Amino acid sequence: MEEEISELEFYGDSLLLYDSVLIELSSRINIIRKSSVLHNERDPIENVKTRIKSPKSMINKLKMKGLEPKAENIEGNITDAAGMRVICTYIDDVYKVSSILAAQKDINVLEVKDYIKNPKPSGYRSYHMIVELPIYIGDTNKTVCAEIQFRTLSMDFWASLEHQIRYKHDIPSHKMIEAELRRCADEVASVEMNFLTIRDMINSLKENQS
């Protein structure tokens, strides 16, 4: 069996840049969380995950774009070598947290894909933002890209299960399974809206009491 190439073997020196951009973004997200709590607001974030795209997945992506599968070809062609997933509690938290981050002066938003307003045909919902920001290594700096996926708990629940069941598996598309997964996505979204309504009802009851 062919041995998988390690991250360091494939990415070389760029690995430090991708690691560093994820450290930087995680720290900014942490500050947003701490600031909310300090101002007696609810923490809008449930958890944060980061990943460097696996060499195997990156090699496939480069090949699909007609590029030679080497790390030098990532810059300028592929923006999700570094990826962060921010799991928020409610939909309004997704828009609030993403806009706070987007407003930071040294962060440049290159692209936004709002799969919450426009879900993918699969039923996938998330808010994707491609950003670039300066990363300082010693006394030099370089602009590095990352993909941030903002989603709610329920969107993450659906996407994780769907990913395990189907996404990236080499199975022929099956209309009935696809329709069922879309139905589940709609149901999960509708349950989420119910929770939002209950939350707002509780908040207005609290306001009326005070």
List of residues contacting ligand 0O2 (CB under 6 A): 53, 57, 80, 83, 113, 120, 122, 124, 128, 159, 162-163, 167
Edge-first strand listing for the sheet containing 140-152: 45-52, 82-88, 140-152, 127-137, 108-114
Q: Considering the complex, state which of residue 44 and residue 83 has its C-beta at the smaller distance from ligand 0O2.
A: 83
CB of 125 to ligand 0O2, least distance (A): 9
Min. distance of Cβ 85 from ligand 0O2 in angstroms?
Answer: 8
DSSP string, 110-146: EEEEETTTS--TT----EEEEEEEEEEETTEEEEEEE
* Other beta carbons within 10 Å of 3: 5
Nearest distance, CB of residue 209 and ligand 0O2, angstroms: 42
How is residue 134 written in tokens? 């300066």
Nearer to ligand 0O2, 136 or 167 (CB): 167
What is the Cα gyration radius of the chain?
19
Pick 91 or 129: Cβ nearer ligand 0O2: 129
Backbone angles phi, psi at 35, to 5 degrees: -65, -40
Query: Least separation, in Å, of the C-beta of 59 and ligand 0O2?
Result: 12
Output the smallest distance, CB 109 to ligand 0O2, in A.
14
> Which position has the token pair 């890209």?
145
Give the residue among 52, 49, 51 at the shortest CA–CA distance from 11. 52
Instruction: Give min distance, CB of 202 to ligand 0O2, in A.
Output: 31
- Buried residues in 38-72 as b, exposed as e (16+ CB within 10 A): eeeeeebbeebebebbebeebbebbeeeeeebebe
DSSP 3: P
Q: For ligand 0O2, which is the closer residue by CB, 36 or 123?
A: 123
Shorter beta-carbon distance to ligand 0O2: residue 108 or 199: 108
Q: Rounded to whole angstroms, what are the CA distances from 208 to 83, 203, 205?
A: 43, 9, 5
Closer by beta carbon to ligand 0O2, 33 or else 51: 51
